[in-house]
Amino acid sequence: MRVAIGLVVCSSALGAQSSATAILDRVTMNPQRPIDFHAIVLPTTVFVGQQVTYQVAVMLSPDARTRLRRNPEFLPPELRGLLAYELGTPTRVPARNYSGSVFEAHVFQRALFPVASGTHVVPAPQLTYGLPQSSSYFSREERFVVRAESASFIVKALPTDDRPDDFNGAVGVFKSSVRIDTTSVRVGDPIVLTLRVQGTGNVKLLPRPNIELEWASLVAGTERIFVDSSGSLVRGAKEFDWILTPARDGRVGIPSLRYAYFDPYVARYAVAESAPMELSIRTGALAVSNDGESATLLPLRAPTGTSRTVVTWSGRGRPPTTWLWWLVLSMVVPLPALWWSRAAKRAPRRRRVARDSGAVGAPTSDSAHGERGAARTTRRTLLAALSSRFAQNPQALVSRRHVARVLRRAGVTRETTRDMLTLLERLDELGFASDDVDRREVSASGANAEAVVAARAKDLLRRVETEALPSGRQIPVSTTVALHVLFGLVWVCAVRTPLHSQVSVPYADAPTRVSAGDPMVAYATAYATAHDAYARRAFVEAAQRFRALAAQHPRNPDLLTDWGTAAWAAGDTVNAVIAWQRAARLEPLAVDIQEHMSMLPSGSRGGIADVPMFPVAWLVRAALILWLAGWGVLSVRAWRRRHPAALAASPASRWVRDTARLALVLAALSAGAAWWGMRALDASALAVVTRPETLRIAPGTDADAMGGVTTGDVVRVGESRDAWQRIVHADGRKGWLPAARLEALQVPMAGPLSDSLPERLPRDLPAR
């Protein structure tokens, strides 16, 4: 019925279309021009995707017709946002009178299809011709340039009222039909299903419809286009092929396929429906064998022996109590080390500095080498006081650069640091000068030089004690910031990684532990039903049941794997990719899941779809253990630093300190590796292509194509615009796809029901 209506509308549309010479009745001729030039657009108001006819008329006067030596040159206008087709051949109208002037007319037509609403303006075209100045053959030609009028029209957006849900943007008047390439069909043998859509309109922009059959799998094939622009309206046909593989035998049917479109001539939506077909599918390669087994079936993940309950925290919502205690412990452990490292030796150092500064006095008379020995003693005592004050090895203060660095890092001013370096140089001259000329030069500076230098040393030590930071050897700010960043990195990995807490559940005692209303029994019953459906080769039913269970427990890798196995057996590539990809990202070290994914198409397992076998959970545990161990050792050592005698008596003190620092470094490396693994396993920006589609360079069906994507391809989703998504394909191509063709790969969060249940439950409990 609807097809017949479409044919009637098409006939009425053809009758309402303007004639090929309609421009001659709508323009005014200029008798002053030997060659006149005009352009118009008909009609002036259309819908998006409706044809607009652009007519150009070249008017030749009898005099110009006889004098023309060559055809005029036509420069067409630049068309933006319009698709153009040449309509037929130019129409020649014999000379006739136009408002008192005689002209011969040549009319050219072009069909334009707007792709966006608004006011469109077609710029003025240009015509260039030459006429000889006289009738002589050798007369020079005079060139003329004439422009026609610019034309404009209004494009209205398609209405939203009564728009069908399966409307994809087809505009015109169409009818559809279906055919298959063979009448002998067996299970497992592919056949070609072809949908032909023909009628009036821009058939190049007709989108591929969505077709789903329960008894077979469909893979999009090629497309063929036939365009006829010989008449006043562009018409043609477009054929869509699907590779159809039956999955079961018996009598099956291809239902009436709908193709929704908008009829611009009556301003309403319509549907072209094909006639239904019936097929008889014979037994084939996918039929059950005599013994009821199939060697190609993938096994399900069924637990044996004892079942284990694995509680998984996804990182959102309320975490388990165990991890809250770990979080508090990891925050508390660094505090003693940081506190005691700042307070250790603070008071003892001040007393020791005062005692050492008191030892820097005037030289004694019983020195072994007189004044030279006193200078050496003063220098040695001064360096010992500095090394004790700043917890430095005395052998490290052997050069001006080391002394200056220690003082400046402790907060001593530049002036005091410079005076200290000058004093050390003076002590070197007094204590290590030779007996010859150098010694005489030192003695010439004053007989009591050592006493003056000693007094100067005591004064400088007091200034250093006043200016230096009061906490002794402090942890630099950069180190503190780095430690906090490390702590945050470790815990970001911890809360975002599926960390499992395993509890063994005796399988034999399981039925006696639960009551009839326990969620475990309902879970076991649902799983047993899905498992039985898979065993009797009802793959579609099994996939649906496993999918329902996975929706309740979205972070259960066993359920996701079984869902993907059943979907793969049913020929559902999209659900198999989604399920196996999610399971592999929850258990990246599972070998069986990786083997299943190796059977997927290349676009579903390569490039950005690759799932690395990276032990993220183990790295997070290692980072936490190393973090706690390192800070625990540093806390004990910082406490022992409050008792210098005990610390000095321990020969392994430095080895323990270095080991603790190494543990913190390894914790940082483990956390960084875990972070990289999390980024590699993150699927928040990934999606799966649900149906074959053409990749466009810009959003919109009118944009140029840059290849296509197939069912099951994994792509990275970027920005979105209207109903389009910008994606990056596994092979590196970037383009736009309709959002309706993509399904997110991100593992959904558990709902209220699954939050109250363990994520991995005993699946083989007998139902009551």
Which pLDDT tens digit goes with each residue over 705-740? 777 788 888 889 988 888 888 988 877 888 988 888
Task: Give the pairing type, strands 742-744 and 686-689.
Answer: antiparallel
Q: Which residue has the higher pLDDT, 756 or 557?
A: 557
Separation of alpha carbons 114 and 117, rounded Å: 8
Closest CA to 272 of 201, 193, 181: 201
Omega before residue 554 within 30° of 0, cis: no
Mean pLDDT along residues 494-520 = 42
The DSSP result for 38-90, as a single string, is EEEEE-SEEETT--EEEEEEEEE-HHHHHH--SPPEEEPPPPSSEEEEE-SSP
Percentage of residues in the chain with pLDDT exceeding 70? 71
Is the model more confident about 234 or about 680?
234
Strands 268-273 and 258-263: antiparallel
Asked if residue 373 lies in contact with residue 367, where contact means CB atoms within 8 angstroms, the answer is: yes
57-91 pLDDT per residue, tens: 998 988 888 888 888 888 888 888 888 998 888 88
To the nearest 10°, report the CA torsion of 473, 478, 480, 482: -140
pLDDT digits (tens, 9 = 90+) for 547-572: 888 888 888 888 888 999 998 888 78
If you search the block for the tokens 């009628």, which residue do you land on? 199
Contacts of 633 (CB under 8 A, 6+ apart): 656, 657, 659, 660, 663
The pLDDT, as a whole number, for residue 112 is 93
What are the pLDDT digits (tens) for 96-120? 888 778 899 999 999 999 988 999 9
Instruction: List pLDDT tens digits, range 347-373.
Output: 444 444 444 444 454 444 444 445 566
As a three-state string, the secondary structure of 403-420 is HHHHHHHCCCCHHHHHHH
Question: Which among 223, 225, 216 has a CA at the least distance from the CA of 252?
Answer: 216
What pLDDT band is residue 278 in, cutting at 50, 70 and 90?
confident
Q: Report DSSP letters for 646-690, one per residue.
A: HHHH-TTHHHHHHHHHHHHHHHHHHHHHHHHHHHHH--TTEEEE-
**Structure-model confidence comparison of residues 9 and 691, the more confident one:** 691
pLDDT-derived band at 758 (thresholds 50, 70, 90) equals very low
> Scanning the structure block, which residue is given the tokens 């209506």?
5
Residue 214 has pLDDT above 70, yes or no: yes
Tell me the pLDDT tens digit for each residue of 566-600.
988 887 888 898 999 888 888 888 888 888 888 88
Question: CB under 8 Å to 200, separation ≥6 — which residues?
Answer: 10, 13, 14, 172, 173, 174, 233, 234, 235
Which residues lie below 8 Å from residue 644, measured CB to CB, with a gap of 6+?
A: 345, 348
Look-up of token digits 């080390």? 337
Residue 269 has pLDDT above 90, yes or no: yes
Share in percent of the chain as helix, strand, coil (round to 5): 40, 25, 35
The predicted-structure confidence for 427-485, as pLDDT tens digits, reads as follows 777 776 655 544 444 454 444 666 777 788 888 888 887 777 654 444 444 455 555 55
147 membership: H or E segment, kind and range = strand 141-147
Over 70: is that where the pLDDT of 496 sits? no
Strands laid side by side in the 724-728 sheet: 705-709, 693-696, 734-738, 724-728, 714-721, 686-689, 742-744
Joined together, the tokens standing for residue 500 give: 């499992």
Cα of first residue to Cα of last residue in the chain, in angstroms, is 54
Model-level pTM?
A: 0.48
Per-residue model confidence (pLDDT) at position 435: 53
Residues 6+ apart with CB under 8 A from 696: 703, 704, 705, 706, 724, 735, 736, 737
Of residues 57 and 215, more confidently modeled: 57
- In 3D space, the residue among 554, 594, 596 whose CA is nearest the CA of residue 754 turns out to be 554
Q: How far apart are CA 496 and CA 502, in angstroms?
A: 18
Q: In this model, does residue 132 exceed pLDDT 50?
A: yes
Q: What is the pLDDT of residue 53?
A: 93
Q: Within a 13 Å sphere around the CA of 188, how many CA atoms are in the beta-carbon half?
A: 7
Burial of 132 (0-12, 13-18, 19+ CB in 10 A): middle
Contact (Cβ atoms closer than 8 angstroms) between residue 721 and residue 699: yes
Are 712 and 573 within 8 A, CB to CB? yes
Confidence (pLDDT) at 198: 95
Contact in structure between 626 and 666 (CB atoms under 8 Å): yes
Report the distance separating Cα 141 and Cα 753, nearest Å: 90
User: Is residue 52 scored above 90 in pLDDT?
Assistant: yes
What residues contact 193, with CB distance under 8 A and at least 6 apart? 178, 179, 180, 211, 218, 241, 242, 243, 244, 254
Higher-pLDDT residue of 153, 298? 153
Average pLDDT of the chain to the nearest whole number: 75
Nearest to 82 by CA among 118, 136, 127: 118
pLDDT band of 341, cuts 50, 70, 90: low
- For residues 128 and 720, give the distance between their C-alpha atoms in angstroms, rounded to a whole number: 47
| pLDDT of 694 over the 80 cut | yes
**In the predicted model, is pLDDT for residue 311 greater than 70?**
no
pLDDT above 90 for 188: no
Average pLDDT of the residues in 232-250: 89
Q: Residues 6 or more apart from 481 whose CB is under 8 A from it?
A: none
Which pLDDT value is given to residue 761? 36
Find the angle CA(140)-CA(144)-CA(148) to the nearest 5 degrees: 160
Contacts 24+ apart (CB under 8 A), 704-708: 706/733, 706/735, 707/733, 707/735
Of the candidates 119, 120, 206, 117, the residue with the CA atom closest to the CA atom of residue 158? 117
Which backbone phi and psi does 191 adopt, to 5 degrees?
-130, 165
Helix (H) or strand (E) holding 96: strand 91-98
| Burial category of 122 from C-beta neighbours within 10 Å (exposed 0-12, middle 13-18, buried 19 and up) | buried
**Count of residues for the chain?**
768
Residues of the chain with pLDDT > 90: what percent? 15
Q: How many C-beta atoms lie closer than 10 Å to residue 126's C-beta?
A: 15
**Structure-block tokens of residue 647:** 């610390």
User: What's the pLDDT tens digit per position in 385-419?
Assistant: 887 777 777 666 777 778 888 887 777 888 888 88
Provide Rg for the chain, Cα atoms: 44
Residues 6+ apart with CB under 8 A from 432: 372, 376
**What distance in Å separates the CA atoms of residue 143 and residue 339, rounded to the nearest whole number?**
95
Identify the burial level of 212 via C-beta atoms within 10 angstroms of its C-beta, where 0-12 means exposed, 13-18 middle and 19 or more buried.
exposed
Long-range contacts from 724-733, C-beta under 8 angstroms, 24+ separation: 724/696, 724/699, 724/700, 725/687, 726/699, 727/687, 727/695, 728/608, 729/603, 729/607, 729/695, 730/602, 730/603, 730/606, 730/607, 730/608, 730/609, 731/603, 731/607, 732/607, 733/695, 733/706, 733/707
Choice between 438 and 633, residue whose per-residue pLDDT is larger:
633
- Token pair for 225: 């286009």
Structure token pair of residue 495 = 């809360």
Residue 392 φ/ψ region, left for φ over 0, alpha for ψ in the -120 to 50 degree band, beta for the rest? beta
Per-residue confidence at 209, pLDDT binned at 50, 70, 90? very high
